[in-house]
Structure formats: structure tokens, C-alpha cells
């Protein structure tokens, strides 16, 4: 029961931060959360027995299990937010590439210079040269 | 010449072996073609130029959706452009289908005509492979949007549309998910949609270029995340 609550609370937190990702408050929240997380982990390493007391209070058997739950939630959050961030980045990158492409369009009547029609070099190719 | 107001948008990625023939034969009917070379590493760009098409080159490979968006953005600012066609570079679409679709767009009060592989009763000559047929039909059944629009083919690359659609088009899914995004836009923007039965030529070449069905998973996840991306 309490485990379900823990999971639900974690999921709700992740959803909240993703929805409000662009607001300064949520960004600050993520940073505060990170610091708290680190402090909590340091404390957990130093006083594992205290952790077990907390875990028992929450209905979890061992302290290490609680840490594991916290880590899984943290990892899920990082994964999802990284994915979304990459997608946004990708879109900006696409728009940049698109505007370059449109500026350098070659009309049929144009005589393109050689560089305009030679294949785009792979990064590997460039390294080899 | 007729069809001067039609622009074909052809995304192209490493299609150097076939693109020149595809473009040359399409140009006999449609003089205006813009081919978007999506960062190909072969001779695609040179082939496009010698086929007499307008060439727009992505400096890096971005994906088919991004290439279509680039091509439409190029075509919609060309003087006299009224109708726009998304056409594949690998020769699986046919000019006669495009012609019929453009005529429909001219005559009927619709904004976009989409090709469908399942528009008429099944015949001997149909080439859609069984597994593709099953998957595509399942996608249609699972998508309330597609059903509401009355579409029978979830991901057909052949589309003909007018200025309203072209000016409004803003595809953000760079990869293959643009087809679902297109359908979503049709629904949310209220474009008037019609379907046209078309023949897709499944040649060995186009099959080898075709999408893996597993890519459906990527498309699904893109659909979930896409809503979060800014327009």
C-alpha cells in the first residue's frame, strides 16, 4: 500500500516538473531537489541504520530498498527529461539546418559550384582527410 | 503549360541510383519540382540538378519529415505556386495518380487529397504485402482521429494539397512520424480531406528502402512527446 503511494507520489512529481519545465519556479525546484537528493544520499551512506528506521516507518523493509526506490524514480525523471530536451534541441537544429538549406537553394538554371553538389562529407571522412 | 501551378516536393536521402529517372519522368508532366537532398552521402544532389529540379540541400541528415517541411517552405514562396505534392524519391508513386489528385483538388471543395492503398476492393494486381496490410489497417482502427477523418490508409506518402495547407504546415517530427503528425494537423486545423485510391509500386529497390514495422514504436513515442514540443 505505502509502496504504491510512494510510486504514485514520485510519478506525480515527475509529471509536475515536466509540465512546468519552462517556469523558473520548477527549474529552481529541480535544483533544490537535486541538492536534497545528494544530502540524503550522503546521510544514507553515513548512517544506514537511521535509513532503515525511516524505511520501516514508511512500510519498507530495509533502508537500502528505500534508496533503491529513490534511485529508480530519479533515474526515470532524468531519462524522460533528457529525452524531451533532446527532442527540443533536435527541432532547433532542424530549423537552423533548414534555413541554411533554403538560403543555398540551387535553381535548375543556376550553374552550381562543385561544392554545392558534391556529397555531404561524413564526420568520419573529414577525420580521415 | 498546364500544371505550372503545381509543385512536387521530393525528399531524398541516398537515392542517387534512381532519383534522376524518377524526377525526369515526373517533370514531363509537372515542370516544377523541388527535391530536398537530406544530407545524402552519394551523388543524389548532382542527379537532382541534372534532372532539372530545384535542389535544396540539408547540410546534415535530418529525416524525412524535416525534408518535406523544407521542401514545402521552399515551394510555397515560389511565384504562382497553388498546389503542392509530396512525392517519394524511390519511384513508388505514380504520376498518373498525382494528376488525378490535382484534378480533384481543382474541381472539388477540399484542401488536401491523400493517397490510399485500400481505396477499392482488393484485386489480383495489388502489391501491398500481407503483413503491411494488416499493420496499416490496425493502425487505422486504433486511431480515432484517422477514423473521424474517414481515412483508410494511415501512412501514405502521396498527398496533394492547396495553399491553405501549405501555408499552415509546420511539421516538427523530423523522422518518419511526420505522417501521423500530418493526420493530426488535418484534424486539428480543420482541413477538408479527401482520399484517392493510388497504386504503390513495391519494387525491390523501394522495399529495401521501406520502413521497418518496428519503427511504429518510435512513431508512437514521438506522438506522445510531440504534444509537448512548442509550435
Interface test with B, best of A15, A86, A97 (most B CBs within 10 A): A97
- Give residue A29's pLDDT: 79
Distance CA B101, CA B68 (A): 19
Residues of B in contact with A105 (CB under 8 A): 34, 54-56, 74
Contacts of A128 (CB under 8 A, 6+ apart): none
With CB atoms and an 8 Å threshold, state whether A112 touches B225. Answer: no
Question: Touching check for A119 and chain B: CB below 8 Å?
Answer: yes
Of A98, A117, A122, nearest to B41 by CB-CB distance is A122
> Exposed, middle or buried, B226 (CB in 10 Å: 0-12/13-18/19+)?
middle
Candidates A87, A105, A120; nearest CB to B59? A120
Helices B95-107 + B19-27 axis angle, to 10: 40
Structural contact between residues A94 and B35, judged by C-beta atoms closer than 8 angstroms: no
Among the listed residues B72, B125, B93, B96, the one whose alpha carbon sits nearest the alpha carbon of residue B209: B93
Nearest CA in chain A to B70: A98
Cβ contact A106–B228 (<8 Å): no
Cβ-based contacts of B66 with chain A (< 8 Å): 94, 97-98
- Give residue-wise pLDDT tens across range A21-73: 677 777 787 788 889 888 888 888 888 788 888 888 877 788 788 888 878 88
Per residue in B27-49, pLDDT (tens digit) is 999 999 999 999 899 888 999 99
Instruction: Give the closest-approach CA distance of B166 to chain A in angstroms.
Output: 16
Going by C-alpha positions, the residue among B164, B159, B184 that lies closest to residue B86 is B159
- Please report the pLDDT score of residue B84 as a whole number: 95
Mean pLDDT of B195-204: 79
Interface test with A, best of B51, B60, B72, B227 (most A CBs within 10 A): B60
**How does DSSP assign A50-97, residue by residue?**
HHHHHHHHTT-S-HHHHHHHHHHHHHHHHHHHHHHHHHHHHHHHHHHH
Question: What are the residue boundaries of the structural domains of chain A, listed by start?
Answer: 2-91
- Provide the H-helix boundaries in chain B: 19-27, 44-50, 64-75, 95-107, 130-142, 144-149, 163-168, 178-189, 204-209, 215-226
Chain B residues near residue A122 by CB distance under 8 angstroms? 41
Q: Which three cell numbers stand for residue B143?
A: 486511431
Least CB-CB distance to A102: which of B61, B74, B172? B74
**pLDDT interval class at B98 (50, 70, 90):** very high
User: Residue A127: is its pLDDT beyond 50?
Assistant: no
What is the nearest CA distance from A96 to chain B, expressed in angstroms? 10
Going from the C-alpha of B197 to that of each of B41, B151, B177, the distances in angstroms are 34, 11, 22
- Cβ neighbors of B89 (< 8 A, separation 6 or more) are B10, B11, B12, B13, B15, B18, B19, B22, B35
Interface membership of A72 toward B (CB under 8 Å)? no
Complex prediction ipTM = 0.78
Query: CA-to-CA distance for A109 and B49, rounded, in angstroms?
Result: 9
Instruction: Report how many helices (DSSP H) and strands (DSSP E) chain B contains, helices first.
Output: 10, 7
**pLDDT greater than 80 at residue B221:** no
Identify the residue whose cell numbers are 533536435: A90
Contact A98 B69 (CB under 8 A): yes
Q: Which of B166, B194, B188 is nearest to B110 (CA)?
A: B194
Amino acid at each position: 500500500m505505502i509502496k504504491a503511494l510512494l510510486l504514485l507520489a514520485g510519478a506525480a512529481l515527475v509529471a509536475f516538473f515536466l509540465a512546468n519545465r519552462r517556469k523558473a519556479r520548477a527549474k529552481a525546484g529541480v535544483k533544490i531537489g537535486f541538492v536534497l537528493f545528494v544530502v540524503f544520499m550522503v546521510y544514507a551512506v553515513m548512517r544506514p541504520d537511521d535509513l532503515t528506521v525511516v524505511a520501516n516507518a514508511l512500510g519498507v523493509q530495509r533502508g537500502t530498498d528505500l534508496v533503491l526506490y529513490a534511485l529508480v524514480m530519479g533515474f526515470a525523471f532524468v531519462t524522460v527529461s533528457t529525452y524531451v530536451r533532446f527532442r527540443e534541441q533536435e527541432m532547433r537544429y532542424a530549423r537552423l539546418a533548414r534555413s541554411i538549406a533554403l538560403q543555398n537553394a540551387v535553381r535548375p538554371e543556376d550553374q552550381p559550384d562543385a561544392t554545392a553538389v558534391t556529397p555531404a562529407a561524413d564526420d568520419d571522412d573529414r577525420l580521415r582527410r | 503549360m498546364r500544371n505550372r501551378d503545381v509543385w512536387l516536393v521530393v525528399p531524398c536521402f541516398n537515392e542517387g541510383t534512381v532519383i534522376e529517372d524518377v524526377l525526369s519522368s515526373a517533370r514531363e508532366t509537372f515542370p516544377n519540382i523541388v527535391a530536398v537532398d537530406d544530407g545524402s552521402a552519394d551523388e543524389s544532389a548532382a542527379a537532382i540538378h541534372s534532372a532539372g529540379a530545384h535542389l535544396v540541400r540539408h547540410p546534415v541528415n535530418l529525416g524525412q519529415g524535416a525534408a518535406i517541411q523544407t521542401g514545402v517552405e521552399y515551394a510555397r514562396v515560389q511565384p504562382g505556386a497553388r498546389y503542392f505534392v509530396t512525392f517519394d524519391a524511390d519511384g513508388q508513386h505514380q504520376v498518373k495518380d498525382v494528376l488525378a489528385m490535382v484534378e480533384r483538388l481543382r474541381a472539388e471543395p477540399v484542401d488536401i487529397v491523400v493517397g490510399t492503398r485500400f481505396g477499392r476492393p482488393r484485386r489480383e494486381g495489388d502489391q501491398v504485402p500481407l503483413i503491411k496490410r494488416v499493420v496499416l489497417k490496425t493502425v487505422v482502427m486504433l486511431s480515432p482521429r484517422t477514423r473521424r477523418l474517414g481515412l483508410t490508409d494511415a501512412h501514405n506518402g502521396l498527398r496533394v494539397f492547396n495553399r491553405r495547407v501549405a501555408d499552415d504546415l509546420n511539421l516538427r517530427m523530423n523522422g518518419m512520424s511526420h505522417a501521423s503528425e500530418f493526420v493530426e494537423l488535418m484534424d486539428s486545423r480543420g482541413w477538408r480531406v479527401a482520399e484517392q485510391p493510388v497504386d504503390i509500386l513495391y519494387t525491390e529497390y523501394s522495399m529495401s528502402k521501406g520502413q521497418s514495422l518496428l519503427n511504429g514504436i518510435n512513431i508512437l513515442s514521438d506522438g506522445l512527446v510531440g504534444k509537448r514540443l512548442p509550435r
